[in-house]
Amino acid sequence: MSIGDVASRSGVPPKTIRYYEEIGLIAPAERMENRYRAYSETDVQTLRFIQRSRSLGFPLKEVGELLALYRDRRRHAKDVKRLALAHIAELDRKIAELTAIRRTIADLAERCHGGQRPECPILEELEASPH
């Protein structure tokens, strides 16, 4: 199967597939006599797994760990759960950070009168030196 076929079936663009090969996330594709890459159904499944993991926000390092666990039929479910819980903790941290940022911007927007006057708490806050 060609890289174009694999890309359309897995939802992963060809450039990304080549990048995953380059960084060792997936094994390099077999080469046909004409030197074109040849992929298998297993490659498509692996790329779908990676694509789904990435869509859930897992960084590439953790995707590699999940992929290794996926391939290991003697894996322990606790190892998979540990990765998922660590990812949830990171998501919670990011959500809290974004919520605080949103709250600050909403407060500044509320205090800004808009209109024709030059005073603007938003710009004043951005101008202020960090604490």
Q: Residue 69: is its pLDDT beyond 80?
A: yes
pLDDT band at 71 (very low <50, low <70, confident <90, very high): very high
Average pLDDT over residues 120-128: 91
CA 112 – CA 117 distance, rounded (Å)? 10
Task: Give, to the nearest 10 degrees, the angle between helix 3-10 and helix 41-55.
Answer: 40
pLDDT digits (tens, 9 = 90+) for 19-44: 999 999 999 888 888 888 889 999 99
Q: What pTM was computed for the model?
A: 0.81
Residue in this structure with the two tokens 């590439």, named with its chain if needed: 60
Q: By the 8 A CB rule, do 61 and 41 touch?
A: no
pLDDT band at 55 (very low <50, low <70, confident <90, very high): very high
